[in-house]
Homo-oligomer: A and B are copies of this chain.
Amino acid sequence: MSATQIDAVTLDGAGPLYDQIRRAVRDLILAGTWPPGTAVPPEHALMEKLGASRMTVHRALAQLAREGLILRRRRSGTIVASPPASHAMLDILSIPQEVRELGQAYSYRILQRRDGKAPRELSDRFELGRSATIAHLTLLHFAGGAPHVLEDRVIHLATIPQAADESFAETPPGDWLLQNSLWTQAEHAISAIAAEPHEAELLKIDAAAPCLLVERRTWNQAEPITAVRLLYPGGRHRFVGRFGPYGAV
Protein backbone atom coordinates (compact mmCIF):
# COMPACT_ATOMS: atom_id res chain seq x y z
CA MET A 1 0.00 0.00 0.00
CA SER A 2 2.75 2.41 0.80
CA ALA A 3 4.48 1.77 -2.52
CA THR A 4 1.52 3.06 -4.48
CA GLN A 5 0.39 5.87 -2.26
CA ILE A 6 3.73 7.57 -1.93
CA ASP A 7 3.72 8.43 -5.61
CA ALA A 8 0.73 10.65 -4.95
CA VAL A 9 2.99 13.04 -3.04
CA THR A 10 4.20 15.62 -5.52
CA LEU A 11 5.73 19.02 -4.92
CA ASP A 12 4.75 22.18 -6.72
CA GLY A 13 8.05 23.99 -6.45
CA ALA A 14 6.47 27.05 -4.83
CA GLY A 15 7.97 28.37 -1.62
CA PRO A 16 10.07 26.62 1.01
CA LEU A 17 10.60 22.90 0.63
CA TYR A 18 9.17 22.00 4.02
CA ASP A 19 6.04 23.92 3.17
CA GLN A 20 5.68 22.23 -0.21
CA ILE A 21 5.83 18.90 1.56
CA ARG A 22 3.37 20.06 4.19
CA ARG A 23 0.88 21.24 1.58
CA ALA A 24 1.31 18.16 -0.60
CA VAL A 25 0.41 15.86 2.27
CA ARG A 26 -2.32 18.14 3.53
CA ASP A 27 -3.96 18.31 0.11
CA LEU A 28 -4.01 14.53 -0.20
CA ILE A 29 -5.81 14.37 3.13
CA LEU A 30 -8.30 17.14 2.37
CA ALA A 31 -9.05 15.74 -1.08
CA GLY A 32 -9.93 12.40 0.51
CA THR A 33 -7.18 10.52 -1.34
CA TRP A 34 -5.85 9.51 2.05
CA PRO A 35 -8.93 9.00 4.22
CA PRO A 36 -8.71 8.91 8.01
CA GLY A 37 -6.71 5.94 9.23
CA THR A 38 -4.49 5.79 6.17
CA ALA A 39 -0.81 5.24 6.91
CA VAL A 40 1.33 8.17 5.90
CA PRO A 41 4.72 7.02 4.55
CA PRO A 42 7.49 7.14 7.14
CA GLU A 43 9.91 10.00 7.13
CA HIS A 44 12.74 8.09 5.49
CA ALA A 45 10.50 7.00 2.61
CA LEU A 46 9.34 10.54 1.92
CA MET A 47 12.93 11.65 2.26
CA GLU A 48 14.06 9.32 -0.53
CA LYS A 49 11.07 9.95 -2.75
CA LEU A 50 11.35 13.72 -2.48
CA GLY A 51 15.09 14.07 -2.16
CA ALA A 52 14.83 16.08 1.02
CA SER A 53 16.59 15.58 4.33
CA ARG A 54 14.81 13.90 7.18
CA MET A 55 14.77 17.09 9.24
CA THR A 56 12.92 18.87 6.47
CA VAL A 57 10.37 16.09 6.11
CA HIS A 58 10.05 15.98 9.88
CA ARG A 59 9.40 19.69 10.03
CA ALA A 60 6.53 19.36 7.57
CA LEU A 61 4.93 16.40 9.33
CA ALA A 62 5.45 17.82 12.81
CA GLN A 63 3.52 20.89 11.79
CA LEU A 64 0.65 18.85 10.35
CA ALA A 65 0.58 16.92 13.62
CA ARG A 66 0.31 20.16 15.60
CA GLU A 67 -2.57 21.20 13.37
CA GLY A 68 -4.32 17.93 14.11
CA LEU A 69 -4.35 16.51 10.58
CA ILE A 70 -2.19 13.52 11.38
CA LEU A 71 -1.34 11.40 14.40
CA ARG A 72 2.22 10.27 14.95
CA ARG A 73 3.55 7.57 17.21
CA ARG A 74 7.08 6.33 17.49
CA ARG A 75 7.60 3.02 15.78
CA SER A 76 3.92 2.74 14.80
CA GLY A 77 4.26 5.49 12.28
CA THR A 78 1.95 8.23 11.12
CA ILE A 79 -1.73 7.99 10.23
CA VAL A 80 -4.30 10.41 8.98
CA ALA A 81 -6.44 11.68 11.86
CA SER A 82 -10.20 11.68 11.92
CA PRO A 83 -11.59 15.18 11.62
CA PRO A 84 -12.29 16.52 15.09
CA ALA A 85 -15.90 15.88 15.98
CA SER A 86 -16.49 19.18 17.62
CA HIS A 87 -15.02 22.59 17.45
CA ALA A 88 -14.18 24.95 20.24
CA MET A 89 -16.54 27.70 19.30
CA LEU A 90 -20.28 27.36 19.10
CA ASP A 91 -20.13 24.07 17.30
CA ILE A 92 -23.11 21.93 17.60
CA LEU A 93 -22.58 19.63 14.70
CA SER A 94 -24.46 16.64 16.06
CA ILE A 95 -27.87 17.18 17.55
CA PRO A 96 -28.15 13.65 19.04
CA GLN A 97 -24.86 14.23 20.81
CA GLU A 98 -25.93 17.66 21.97
CA VAL A 99 -29.12 16.26 23.46
CA ARG A 100 -27.40 13.32 25.13
CA GLU A 101 -24.85 15.62 26.70
CA LEU A 102 -27.77 17.36 28.36
CA GLY A 103 -28.61 13.99 29.90
CA GLN A 104 -31.82 13.55 27.93
CA ALA A 105 -33.14 10.80 25.69
CA TYR A 106 -32.89 11.59 22.00
CA SER A 107 -35.31 10.84 19.20
CA TYR A 108 -36.36 12.43 15.93
CA ARG A 109 -39.06 12.33 13.32
CA ILE A 110 -38.96 13.13 9.61
CA LEU A 111 -41.87 15.43 8.88
CA GLN A 112 -41.39 15.67 5.16
CA ARG A 113 -39.00 14.76 2.39
CA ARG A 114 -38.98 15.84 -1.20
CA ASP A 115 -36.27 15.14 -3.78
CA GLY A 116 -35.83 16.78 -7.14
CA LYS A 117 -35.07 20.12 -8.71
CA ALA A 118 -34.83 22.87 -6.15
CA PRO A 119 -37.67 25.38 -6.33
CA ARG A 120 -36.40 28.90 -6.67
CA GLU A 121 -37.20 29.77 -3.07
CA LEU A 122 -34.80 27.12 -1.77
CA SER A 123 -31.99 27.54 -4.28
CA ASP A 124 -32.05 31.26 -3.54
CA ARG A 125 -32.17 30.88 0.19
CA PHE A 126 -29.20 28.54 0.16
CA GLU A 127 -27.34 30.04 -2.79
CA LEU A 128 -27.14 26.63 -4.38
CA GLY A 129 -27.39 27.77 -7.97
CA ARG A 130 -30.53 27.55 -10.07
CA SER A 131 -31.83 24.13 -11.13
CA ALA A 132 -29.70 22.16 -8.66
CA THR A 133 -30.99 18.71 -7.77
CA ILE A 134 -31.55 18.45 -4.08
CA ALA A 135 -33.06 16.47 -1.27
CA HIS A 136 -35.23 18.64 0.94
CA LEU A 137 -35.99 17.41 4.45
CA THR A 138 -37.89 18.75 7.40
CA LEU A 139 -37.35 17.09 10.76
CA LEU A 140 -38.16 17.57 14.38
CA HIS A 141 -35.69 16.54 17.06
CA PHE A 142 -36.85 15.62 20.57
CA ALA A 143 -35.08 15.75 23.91
CA GLY A 144 -36.72 13.57 26.50
CA GLY A 145 -39.98 13.56 24.54
CA ALA A 146 -40.20 17.34 24.23
CA PRO A 147 -39.51 19.16 20.95
CA HIS A 148 -35.95 20.40 20.92
CA VAL A 149 -35.23 21.87 17.53
CA LEU A 150 -36.84 22.14 14.13
CA GLU A 151 -34.59 21.32 11.18
CA ASP A 152 -35.02 22.35 7.58
CA ARG A 153 -32.31 20.88 5.37
CA VAL A 154 -31.26 20.87 1.78
CA ILE A 155 -28.69 18.37 0.50
CA HIS A 156 -26.94 19.04 -2.78
CA LEU A 157 -27.24 15.73 -4.60
CA ALA A 158 -24.64 16.53 -7.24
CA THR A 159 -22.02 16.54 -4.48
CA ILE A 160 -23.43 13.69 -2.37
CA PRO A 161 -25.34 11.38 -4.74
CA GLN A 162 -25.53 8.57 -2.15
CA ALA A 163 -27.94 10.71 -0.17
CA ALA A 164 -30.65 10.02 -2.77
CA ASP A 165 -30.75 6.34 -1.74
CA GLU A 166 -30.57 6.98 1.99
CA SER A 167 -33.78 6.97 4.01
CA PHE A 168 -32.30 8.63 7.13
CA ALA A 169 -34.44 6.26 9.16
CA GLU A 170 -31.53 5.18 11.35
CA THR A 171 -29.44 8.33 11.48
CA PRO A 172 -30.60 11.92 11.07
CA PRO A 173 -29.15 13.60 7.98
CA GLY A 174 -26.80 15.88 9.91
CA ASP A 175 -24.97 12.98 11.47
CA TRP A 176 -25.17 10.90 8.30
CA LEU A 177 -23.49 13.68 6.35
CA LEU A 178 -20.76 14.04 8.95
CA GLN A 179 -19.93 10.38 8.40
CA ASN A 180 -20.42 10.25 4.64
CA SER A 181 -18.93 13.46 3.43
CA LEU A 182 -15.82 15.49 3.93
CA TRP A 183 -16.14 19.19 4.52
CA THR A 184 -13.49 21.85 4.36
CA GLN A 185 -15.58 24.96 4.94
CA ALA A 186 -18.57 25.82 7.02
CA GLU A 187 -20.48 29.00 7.64
CA HIS A 188 -22.67 29.72 10.63
CA ALA A 189 -25.10 32.53 10.95
CA ILE A 190 -27.00 33.11 14.17
CA SER A 191 -29.97 35.38 14.54
CA ALA A 192 -33.10 35.77 16.61
CA ILE A 193 -36.56 35.64 15.06
CA ALA A 194 -40.11 35.15 16.14
CA ALA A 195 -41.48 31.70 15.43
CA GLU A 196 -44.08 31.37 12.68
CA PRO A 197 -47.41 30.00 13.89
CA HIS A 198 -46.90 26.52 12.41
CA GLU A 199 -43.34 26.40 13.75
CA ALA A 200 -44.52 27.42 17.19
CA GLU A 201 -47.11 24.68 17.11
CA LEU A 202 -44.54 22.02 16.20
CA LEU A 203 -42.13 23.21 18.89
CA LYS A 204 -44.98 23.57 21.38
CA ILE A 205 -44.17 27.15 22.28
CA ASP A 206 -46.20 30.32 22.29
CA ALA A 207 -46.89 31.85 18.92
CA ALA A 208 -44.28 34.47 18.01
CA ALA A 209 -42.04 33.38 20.87
CA PRO A 210 -38.38 34.40 20.38
CA CYS A 211 -36.29 31.69 18.78
CA LEU A 212 -32.65 31.27 17.98
CA LEU A 213 -32.10 30.60 14.31
CA VAL A 214 -28.88 28.85 13.31
CA GLU A 215 -28.18 28.67 9.60
CA ARG A 216 -25.27 26.53 8.59
CA ARG A 217 -23.85 25.79 5.19
CA THR A 218 -20.96 23.47 4.42
CA TRP A 219 -18.74 22.95 1.41
CA ASN A 220 -16.00 20.67 0.23
CA GLN A 221 -13.61 23.04 -1.48
CA ALA A 222 -16.04 24.92 -3.73
CA GLU A 223 -18.75 22.25 -3.90
CA PRO A 224 -21.77 22.95 -1.72
CA ILE A 225 -22.75 19.97 0.41
CA THR A 226 -25.65 21.00 2.54
CA ALA A 227 -27.48 23.93 4.02
CA VAL A 228 -29.54 23.73 7.17
CA ARG A 229 -31.81 25.99 9.15
CA LEU A 230 -32.16 25.07 12.82
CA LEU A 231 -34.81 26.75 14.90
CA TYR A 232 -34.33 26.56 18.67
CA PRO A 233 -36.85 27.81 21.21
CA GLY A 234 -35.12 30.86 22.59
CA GLY A 235 -35.63 30.57 26.29
CA ARG A 236 -34.24 27.09 26.52
CA HIS A 237 -31.02 27.44 24.56
CA ARG A 238 -27.75 29.23 24.60
CA PHE A 239 -24.62 28.62 22.63
CA VAL A 240 -21.45 28.98 24.56
CA GLY A 241 -17.92 29.25 23.30
CA ARG A 242 -14.67 29.80 25.09
CA PHE A 243 -11.49 31.01 23.46
CA GLY A 244 -8.41 33.12 23.76
CA PRO A 245 -7.07 35.89 21.56
CA TYR A 246 -4.64 33.57 19.85
CA GLY A 247 -7.08 30.80 19.12
CA ALA A 248 -9.17 28.28 20.94
CA VAL A 249 -7.91 27.40 24.40
Query: Residues on A close to B: CB < 8 A?
Result: 67-69, 83-84, 87, 89-90, 183-194, 209-212, 232, 234-235, 237-249
Contact = CB atoms under 8 A, between A and B. Distances in A.
Contacts of A249: 184-185
Nearest to A86: B245
A243 B86 CA distance: 12
A241 to B, nearest CB: 5
Q: By DSSP majority rule, is chain A's interface helix, strand, loop, or mixed? A: strand
Nearest to A217: B242
Contacts of A69: 246
A220 to B, nearest CB: 10
Nearest to A194: B210
A184 B242 CA distance: 11
A193 B234 CA distance: 6
Contacts of A244: 183-186
Nearest to A187: B242
Contacts of A84: 245-246
Contact of A187 (B186, B189, B241): B241
A89 B194 contact: no
A194 B67 CA distance: 41
B240 A187 contact: yes
